[in-house]
Structure 1
Amino acid sequence: MFQSTVRAGTRRRGLASTCAVLAVAGAAVLTPGLSATAAPGASAGARVVQAAPGPLMNYAVNVVQANRGQTLKAERAIEAAGGSVIESYAEIGVVIAQSDNANFAAALRVEKSIASVGATRTAPVAATDPTFGVHDPLANGESGKGGKTPKRTAAPSVETPTSVTADPREGEQWDMAAIGATQAHQITDGSRDVLVAVLDSGIQGDHPDLAANINASASADCNSGVPDTSYAAWQPTTSDHGTHVAGTIAAARNGVGIVGVAPNVRLSSVKVVNDDGFIYPEAAICGFMYATATGADVTNNSYYIDPWQFWCDNDADQAAVKTAVDRAVQYSQQKGLVNVAAAGNSNIDLANKTVDSSSPNDTTPVLRAIGTGGCEDIPAELDGVVTVSSTTQAGERSSFSNYGLGVIDVAAPGSRILSTVVNSGYGLKSGTSMASPHVAGVAALLKSTHPTTSGTALVTLLTEQANDVPCPAVASTCVGTPDVNGYFGEGLVDALEAVQ
């Protein structure tokens, strides 16, 4: 769900019916209670297994090797197991599938080309969910919608403002002064060639403080697992969360309302939150891959992926999904993206997790031990992702903010942040959701001033330039050194140093 303190048509084909028969050449896929018989007309050794009727579910399927051939084998196995391919990413070896066969995952797990399979949720795909498009893996020889990152030319030197005039409500933005953004704007507002993808609930496209900075051609709704690039699709519906996040990153300097950290960079709205406030794995994977394909330089991720607050390696379904998301994240980072994520709002020490009582949140939560088993908040705890904790106007850790030595990379303001909201308005919100976009904005300024620098190097600069914030003297839960600790990581991000 969102990392804030306020919770914010294509035709389906090929689904297995409750009496579908699965044909698996050369092997018997046996499940307790099912019988295997020879298929009429099948070659010697072929077996068929009666499918078990079950709820309609989505799955992440990871192939052993990320290439076209192995991915095609997985797609064929999915069809044979009574499933449909929603989307296929040969470049990372991940296929998103859908099936109403209760034995779908078990049938695929015996395939040599498939490394792991996992359900992306615990609740069935509802009739009210977005219609899931079905990708034809053999159409036109395409390898998936992920595509290649467009060639980008080096950005020109950043634009220096001829004059800096405060927008009407800029004086209320304590957060901008705290990270040196107000001073940074005397030097530059950032480059128009830098694109920040906001993976969230959508951005109001005609908001007077955002419209000039939104790149509509790079925006899409990913909730179905397949990008829908129509304008209406990526607009907010039930939440203004994404619009608020967007304003913090890049509200324009235009004499209206507020000013963002990088008010001259561009934004794309990549909608990954459904109308019930859930961010399912297939939407997040689509979001990372689409942001990469459209040439984003930075992504902001103010959420954790549902339905598990922590995805664990010792559970087959959760481990497979975690692998699929991680492959998308690592791929984006290899292509040069900086991924920034909120740490979460449960006041948890992420370095010393013990129990989780809130998951799964799409059905009935159960109390479970998570001290072992490789349980992680995703995407925040994935390798290379910049994980952000929240601070108050007094410079303290926000009481709701998660923390953890070795987990938190940097800190940023996240309490009572004024930013844009839907209906062309402005409002205050609190959460690590509000801290993360400050860091995404600083990363955008860094990219503006270092246009040819890799994403990995930009992350290094981001952390090196952060201003040390030592642990409070009375905070026993804050461990580390004055330079690096569990509350603030490497420190408070510095927008001014990013542009010098």
Structure 2
Amino acid sequence: MIAAGGLAGAAHAAQSSPAEPSTPVPIVAEDGQVMSYILNARNANPGQTRLVEKAIAAAGGVVVQSWPQIGVVVAHSDRASFRADVARSGGNALQSVGPTRTVPVLEGTPAEAQAPWGPGASDENKGKNKKANGDIESVTTPFTGDPDAREIDQWDLRLIKADQAHAITDGSRNVLVGVLDSGISPEHPDLKPNIDVASSVNCTEAGRPDTSADGWYPTTSDHGTHVAGTIAAARNGVGVVGVAPGVRLASVKVVSDEGYIYPEYAVCGFMWAGEHKMDVTNNSYYVDPFEFWCGDQPEQAAALEAVSRAVAWSTGRGVVNVAALGNSAVDLRTNTTDNGSPNDAATPTPRTINDTCKDMPAQLPGVVGVSSITSTGQLSYFSNRGLGETDVAAPGSSILSTVVNTRTGINGYGTKSGTSMASPHVAGVLALMKSAHPSFTPAQLTAKLRADATDTACSAPQLNRGPACEGTLEYNSYYGDGIVDALKAVQ
């Protein structure tokens, strides 16, 4: 995944007592530095949202993007006192406000926001890339043109019975899957036939939807291209085949050139998915810069609330959201430490976390959380896990899929490992299921997915790494309700 995150859709258990506060991480704004903030109206309606917008202007900020459907506003300000000032001017209309990152805005303020400062007002952190996310890559191979030459190497499709499901359906063109990621290669021969250009968007322009022709293209990472191929590489006589090769894909770019998925990008992605009637989204990341956003910390609570509202709104619009559990090899139910956040700071702050701290979007209600397994069915050594956190398991180790060299534009095929690679298998299965059962709601799709999964007993994880398995054959911390079954999904 883009970052070693986690997710879940079951009841989420506590990490530690809520009476023990999490470690605060102060974020300092300085006059003259453009910082990004997310603000939540007390009530999700246009009237309250408008009051928040007025409070932003009164406090010396600029509205970058408003989502009145959920009462969320993204704002920029170059005033150190902005948070305190907007809290006063917002009065009862404002529920919470917090920064979305620890560093000044790198991408600048979109011109449409009519800011008094120009794009790129701060060069601080320019060129700084996020550290490696934990996904493991191998050597890529170029496109050969051989008819489905690499399908024989896709052990993962056979393990989840996708090959058998394809005898019934490859998926419906009515089904649209949003790939919230780093972009999809527009010219890859296995992906181009299935990309819905009109439904694709770039959300990394400060969280404001950018519908420019090439905004959703990958620029520095082929992560989204690999994920997209697992979901829906076309059955076109070349390369590989996706779990649901007949459905459509939308590239929803939420990963910046530096590799960050800030809260405003994720909110934009979920809102776009809901507005454009997507059926499924795949989310192979956690929201930066915190691996766990803590509700008992005011500087983190606002983003946690905003992303939660966006996820819930998209679900209400018919979207089932799938996410990767993460690559930190921790038990998300019992883990009480976070040593890598914030990941956009010069030095992360080792901290204690509690049950108010959530991996977004993984641990948000209604999100399907996916752990990773190997070709032998073992839990991958890197995979996060946890009772009440793992919903289902899917292949994520050494997965062959589509890739692109973002420097040369050359398309090809290669393997990657991570829960990022497991999650799109589940998104593909849900796309097949929606194709076979078009009237199913997100709740019905999720229930069938879990009921159909193959019960898998606890065993030792790959390389015996990470916390031991807990639970029963029917439900445990490693596999959740079991390994996904594509064949049952279409029956």
State whether TM-score is above 0.5.
Answer: yes
Whether the 8 Å contact between 1:4 and 1:434 is mirrored in structure 2 is no
Q: Is the 2:460–2:468 Cα contact (8 Å) retained in structure 1?
A: no
Whole-Å separation in 2 of the counterparts to 1:494 and 1:104: 51
Distance 2:356 2:232 in 1: 36
Asked if 1 retains the 8 angstrom alpha-carbon contact of 2:274 and 2:317, the reply is yes
Other-structure match for 2:479 = 488
Spell out, residue by residue over 1:252-289, the C-alpha distance to the aligned partner (whole angstroms, 9 max, x if none).
Answer: 00101000000000000000001111111111100111
Q: Does 1:461 align with 2:442?
A: no
Partner residue in 2 for 1:104: 82
Q: Secondary structure at the match of 2:468?
A: coil
* Residue 356 (str. 1) matches residue 316 (str. 2): no
1:473 is displaced (CA, Å) by 6.1
**Partner residue in 1 for 2:423:** 436
- Tell me which amino acid in the other structure corresponds to 2:197: A
**How far apart, CA to CA, are the structure 1 residues paired with 2:231 and 2:337?**
34
2-structure distance, mates of 1:436, 1:192: 21
CA–CA distance in structure 1, aligned partners of residues 306 and 110 of structure 2: 19
Report the number of matched residues.
424
Equivalent residue, structure 2, for 1:140:
none
Secondary structure at the aligned position of 2:477 is classed as coil
Deviations 1:112-132 (A, max 9, x none): 100000100001112xx2552
Q: How far apart are the structure 2 equivalents of 1:52 and 1:367? A: 24
Does the aligned pair in 1 maintain the 2:147–2:238 contact within 8 Å?
no
Supply the distance in 2 between the matched residues of 1:133 and 1:396 (Cα, whole angstroms).
50
The residue that corresponds to 1:21 in the other structure is none
User: How many Å separate the matches in 2 of 1:279 and 1:189?
Assistant: 31
Q: Equivalences for 1:86-125 in 2 at 5 Å?
A: 86-110=64-88, 111-125=91-105
Within a 5 Å distance, the mapping from 1:288-299 to structure 2 comes to 288-299=270-281
Is 1:177 aligned with 2:158?
A: yes
State the AA in 2 paired with 1:393. Answer: S
Structure 1 residues 227 and 388, CA, compared in 2 at 3 Å: closer, same or farther? same
Partner of 2:169: 188
Q: For 2:478 and 2:183, how far apart are their aligned partners in 1?
A: 30
Does the CA contact (< 8 Å) of 1:197 and 1:268 recur in 2? yes
Task: Give the residue type in structure 1 aligned to 2:306.
Answer: A
Aligned-residue offset at 1:134: 4.0
Contact in 2 for aligned 1:94/1:324 (Cα 8 Å): yes
User: How many Å separate the matches in 2 of 1:308 and 1:320?
Assistant: 13
1:82 aligns with 2:60: yes
1:448 partner amino acid = S
Alignment partner of 2:369: what SS? strand
Give 2:2's aligned residue. Answer: 2
Give yes or no for the alignment of 1:223 onto 2:204: yes
Letter in 2 for 1:117: V
Unaligned runs of 5+ in 2: 6-28, 115-145, 405-409
Distance 1:166 1:404 in 2: 41
Aligned residue for 2:122? Answer: none
- The unaligned stretches of length 5 or more in structure 1 are 6-50, 137-164
Shift of 1:101: 1.2
The secondary structure found in structure 1 opposite 2:92 is: coil
Q: Does the 8 Å CA contact 1:351/1:404 hold for their aligned counterparts?
A: yes
Query: Contact conserved, 1:314 with 1:373, CA < 8 A, in 2?
Result: no
Does structure 2 retain, via aligned residues, the 8 Å contact 1:92–1:328? yes
Question: What residue number does 2:414 align with?
Answer: 427
Offset of residue 344 of structure 1: 0.4
Q: Secondary structure of 1:277's match?
A: coil
How far apart are the structure 1 equivalents of 2:237 and 2:415?
A: 20
Tell me the SS of whatever aligns to 1:247. helix
Distance 1:262 1:166, change over 3 A: farther
1:168-216 superposed Cα distances (whole Å, 9 cap, x missing partner): 1110000000000011011110000000000000000111001010000
Tell me the distance in 2 between the aligned counterparts of 1:469 and 1:105: 49
Instruction: Report the 3-state secondary structure (helix = DSSP H, G, I; strand = E; otherwise coil) of the residue aligned with 2:101.
Output: coil
Deviation at 1:55, TM superposition (A): 2.3
Three-state SS of the structure 2 residue aligned to 1:352 is coil
Q: Which one of 352, 362, 379 corresponds to residue 369 of structure 1?
A: 352
2:31: which partner in 1?
A: 53
> What is the rounded CA distance, in whole Å, between the counterparts of 2:374 and 2:298 in structure 1?
39
Per the TM alignment, residue 56 of structure 1 is displaced from its structure 2 partner at its CA by 1.1
Aligned: 1:73 with 2:51 = yes
Per the alignment, do residues 431 and 307 of structure 1 end up closer, same or farther by CA in structure 2, a change over 3 Å counting? same
Identity over aligned pairs, percent: 58
Query: Are 2:387 and 1:387 equivalent residues in the alignment?
Result: no
**3-state SS, counterpart of residue 357 of structure 2:** coil
Note if contact 1:387-1:410 (Cα within 8 Å) is conserved in structure 2: yes
| Contact 2:3–2:326 (CA under 8 A) maintained in structure 1 | yes
Q: Are the equivalent residues in 2 in contact too, given 1:86–1:133 (CA < 8 A)?
A: no
- 3-state SS in 2 of match to 1:234: coil
Is the 2:60–2:82 Cα contact (8 Å) retained in structure 1?
yes
Report the counterpart of residue 23 of structure 1 in structure 2: none
Q: Deviations 1:208-256 (Å, cap 9, x if unpaired)?
A: 0010100000001000211111221110010000000000000000101
CA–CA distance in structure 2, aligned partners of residues 264 and 81 of structure 1: 50
The 1-side partners of 2:377 and 2:444 are apart by: 27
- How far apart in 2 are the matches of 1:3 and 1:179? 25
Contact 1:204 1:236 in 2 (8 A): yes
The Cα of 1:52 is off from its aligned counterpart by: 7.4
If asked which structure has higher relative contact order (CA below 8 Å, sep 6+), I would say 2
Larger radius of gyration: 1
Conservation of the 8 A alpha-carbon contact between 1:3 and 1:343: no
**Partner residue of 1:64?**
42
Paired residue secondary structure (1:112): helix
Alpha-carbon distance between aligned partners in 2 of 1:341 and 1:106, rounded to the nearest angstrom: 35
Measured in 1, the distance between the counterparts of 2:262 and 2:112 equals 17
Cα deviation 1:67-100 (Å, max 9, x = unaligned): 1111100000000000001100111000011101
State how far apart, in whole Å, the 1-side matches of 2:288 and 2:460 are.
Answer: 36
Tell me, in whole angstroms, the C-alpha distance in 1 between the residues paired with 2:366 and 2:337: 25
Q: Deviations over 1:312-347 (max 9, x none)?
A: 011102111000000000000011110000000000
Q: In angstroms, what is the RMSD of aligned CA positions?
A: 1.7
Match of 1:139 in 2: none
Residues 76, 469 of structure 1: alpha-carbon distance in 2 compared, 3 angstrom cutoff? same
Match of 2:302 in 1: 320
Deviation at 1:353, TM superposition (A): 1.4
- The superposition leaves residues 418-458 of structure 1 with CA deviations (integer Å, 9 ceiling, x where unpaired) of 00001220000000000000000000011001101111111
Secondary structure, aligned partner of 2:34: strand
Matches within 5 A, 1:33-44: none
Cα deviation, 1:148-187, whole Å, max 9, x if unaligned, reads: xxxxxxxxxxxxxxxxx98211100000000000110111
